[in-house]
Amino acid sequence: MQGALIVSGEVAVRKSLTAILQPGRAVAEADTIAECLAQAAAEKFDFIFIDGMLQDGSAEELAVRLNALGYGPEIIPILLSLDRFYQQPFRQQGVRCCIAKPFNVEQVNQAVEQVEELLRLSDTAIRQARKTTAEEISEAPTETPTPVVQSGGEIDVREVSQRFRRLLARLQSRDELLRAFADSVQEQFDVDNVVILLPADGKAAFEIICGDLPEQVRRQFYLPLDDPLLQTLIRLGEPIWVHDCERLGRSNALSAIRCGERLNIQILCPVLSRGRLKALVGLSRFHRYSHHPSVLSLLRLFLTFFAEILESSELYGRVAVSGEMHQAVLESLDAGLLAASDSGIILHLNTAAAVMLGVAVEELRGQAVEKAGSLFAHHVRTALAEGVSTKSETCKCQGKSVRVSARPLAKGSRHTGALLVLEPEPGRTAGRGAGADSASPPEARKEDEDWWGDMARAIAHNFKNAFVPVQTCAELLPSRYQEESFRSFFLETVGENIERINQWIEQLLGLSRLGQDCRHSSFPLREIIEAGIAAARRRNPRHQVELKVDYALNDTIKGGRELLERAFAEIVANALEAVQDVPEPVVEVSTEIVEGGVAATIRDNGGGVEDGIRESLFQPFVSSKLSGSLGLGLTYAQRAIGHHQGSLEIDSAEDGGTVVRVCLPQARAVKKAAGTTAKTAAESETP
């Protein structure tokens, strides 16, 4: 038996499962059907986890081909939901266990245990078990408990540190973490006071966050970040008495003594993480164990755990903020949205939908769609059964006219749920003219419905993928915290995925702000392009690409600098991404004066524009990338440039690669046009 094989085009999913399975078995990875089949044919795996994100086919197709190789219960699909509709195609291939995103450690372990039990109870295993059970029991090694080490006969360092670590690992709130740490240190070392200083918001200094001190001292005490005492504490990296002149040095000792007098402490403890000072902890004199040989070792353990979990709590805080921002984006939409699974269960509804229906959000979540009303259930069921969007119709909700429609949510050729859209009747909402919706052609309404569906699918899929490793790390943290390699993996994985989520939220917010007025000024186009290049390189510094520039003279334009900088950043980022697999990657950028304006050309020597995506290049929430993108980059660029009366064209070059051409009016041309318009208006008003 050869352990587990993880098949997914999403790197974060593979890393998360590897973290769960690595301690117990060898783990192999694959991101295509071909690679998976090659490994599965060469070796017999205990488990094969397959995700829907594959480059050369679907998970269902892979399950069929693995079944032909003799695999069945060993296949564990990773699904968006555990609804019957998702599981049915795999059940036909002998699959017995599935997990859903975002999966957790317990869910994966249960699936593994079920598969092991199924394999163990097969006919061959049963016959072998009858012959070897007695031998296995007699030869099985017995686990010898690790002896508890007593340090000096008074302090059980291991037991105290493990108890403290388990306590902190359960906390995510920073305030709870600080209070638990202070109470534990105060109790264990029998000190009068524990003072904790953290970097101050908006100031280059440490300030008092926790400690029993006069209010005047708490308000006025700051320790500047450039204080030489801090650098000395970082260099020492361990607790030190404030009067230890020999190790602190004369000038630093004077500063430490002054801090000790104001804070009523005798010991300063730097809290370090990866060479950075995360916090300062001040302790009053020990009443017990003051000369015990293990007291400093135990204190160092406390500080080490505190440093790591303090950094983890900051990451949890950032996750919470990102989740709140994402929720705020959905809640800011005027339309009511209700998402239902393929079995008709309400998975989510925003506040606007709850208000229109006159119910609380929690009252409907998890209920059958019929709970919302028969008309809404009819639209959802019709969309699920027929696989097409329903025609919009008007109904009364809470005495107000509301237009209701539903459209199926599809993944590949399968319908995975439905999205119900509730909109106020045209003419009854401020800011919209009467009869606006009725005057809109059916094609426009269909396009709007497609947009909502694409948005729901893109957000659900990408955010679920990003939260998979975050949840996995959080589940594994209490049990594997002592492993230094896992702590580094935890911080790196959570940080990367939070950054991805923040980027997606920024994209959504940027797209929503496009219609707002922005401050216009005149500037050379080359400045905007250079700023966009710098932003694209910062976004992904691993892209090492030769970049050639050739700018024309007098390429001044007028517009919103921030909008255009971001637009060119998206264009350049796409060009850099397109040449990553080219032996000699080159991106060329040039500007030229054309009739009535300035043109910028961005050319790369990548693979060019695929025919299958040419028509949907600027469509929102559509991306050719396998994962990690919401598909809003070119949408934003096109709309930002169109906002400036410009044009954006993308095509394949004759000699290979992609050519992007952006045309914008020159500053003087814009000014002249504006003056002509004003003059014409004045003449028309003259009697």
CA distance 627 to 205: 40
pLDDT given for residue 194 in this prediction: 92
Give per-residue pLDDT as tens, 211-233: 888 888 888 898 888 888 988 89
Structural contact between residues 569 and 535, judged by C-beta atoms closer than 8 angstroms: yes
Residue 687 has pLDDT above 50, yes or no: no
Among 35-39, 196-200, 611-615, the minimum mean pLDDT is found in 611-615
Q: Give alpha helix (H) positions in 22-58.
A: 33-42
How much is the pLDDT for 297?
74
CATH superfamily of 338-428: PAS domain (3.30.450.20)
Report pLDDT for 430. Answer: 35
Query: Which DSSP state fits 150?
Result: P
Comparing 197-206, 329-338, 486-495, 572-581, which segment has the lowest mean pLDDT?
A: 329-338
- What's the average model confidence in pLDDT over 109-127? 69
C-alpha atoms less than 13 angstroms from C-alpha of 592 in its C-beta half-sphere: 7
Does the domain made of 520-673 have the CATH classification 3.20.20.330? no
403-412 pLDDT tens trace = 899 988 876 5
Tell me the pLDDT tens digit for each residue of 490-538.
787 777 777 777 777 776 666 666 655 567 788 888 888 888 888 888 8
Residue 149's identity, in one-letter code, is V
Which CATH code is given to the segment(s) 157-316? 3.30.450.40
Residue 457 has which token pair?
Answer: 């699918």
Is it the case that residue 103 has pLDDT exceeding 50? yes
What pLDDT is attached to residue 270?
A: 92
| Whether residue 428 has pLDDT greater than 50 | no
CATH number of 4-135: 3.40.50.2300
pLDDT single digits (tens) 161-184? 555 656 555 555 677 778 888 888
pLDDT recorded at residue 50 = 92
Lowest mean pLDDT among 103-112, 431-440, 480-489, 615-624: 431-440
| Six token digits for residue 522 | 């005149």
- Torsions phi, psi of 374, nearest 5? -65, -40
Q: Which of 72-86, 306-320, 519-533 shows the lowest per-residue confidence on average (mean pLDDT)? A: 306-320
- The answer to whether the beta carbons of residues 189 and 295 sit under 8 Å apart is yes
Give the pLDDT confidence of 255-306 residue by residue, as tens digits: 888 888 889 898 899 998 877 888 999 998 776 655 555 677 778 878 887 8
Span 24-41, pLDDT tens digits:
678 888 888 888 888 888
* Separation CA 663–CA 4 (nearest Å): 53
pLDDT, tens digit, 9 for 90 and up, residues 356-397: 888 888 888 888 888 888 888 889 888 888 888 898 888 888
User: What's the confidence (pLDDT) of residue 433?
Assistant: 36
Digit-coded pLDDT (tens) for 230-245: 888 988 888 888 888 8
Average pLDDT of the residues of the chain: 75
pLDDT at 326: 53
Closest by CA to 278, choosing from 313, 243, 316, is 313
**Is the confidence at residue 581, as pLDDT, over 50?**
yes
Burial class (CB in 10 A: 0-12, 13-18, 19+), 220: exposed
| Most confident range, picked from 442-446, 563-567, 626-630 | 563-567
d(CA 178, CA 443): 58
| Residue 629 pLDDT | 63
Q: For 71-82, what is the mean pLDDT?
A: 86
Give per-residue pLDDT as tens, 126-167: 444 345 433 443 444 433 333 333 334 444 555 555 556 565
Distance of CA 626 to CAs 32, 37, 282, 457, 571, Å? 11, 20, 50, 14, 18
pLDDT category of residue 76 using cuts at 50, 70 and 90:
very high
* Domain ranges within the chain, ordered by starting residue: 4-135, 157-316, 338-428, 520-673
Say what the pLDDT of residue 320 is: 61
Contact 92, 67 (CB under 8 A): no
DSSP 226: T
- Assess whether the region 157-316 and the region 338-428 belong to the same CATH fold: yes
CA dihedral 376, 382, 384, 387 (to 10 degrees): -130
Alpha carbon of 485 to those of 40, 187, 482: distances in Å? 29, 31, 9
Percentage with pLDDT > 70 across the chain: 73
Number of helices and strands in the chain (H, E)? 23, 23
DSSP state of 204: S
CB-CB contact of 58 with 52 (8 Å)? yes
Structure tokens, 158: 């291991």
Please tell me the predicted confidence (pLDDT) of residue 151.
Answer: 38
Asked if the model's pLDDT at residue 343 lies above 60, the reply is yes
Asked if 219 and 240 touch (Cβ cutoff 8 Å), the reply is no
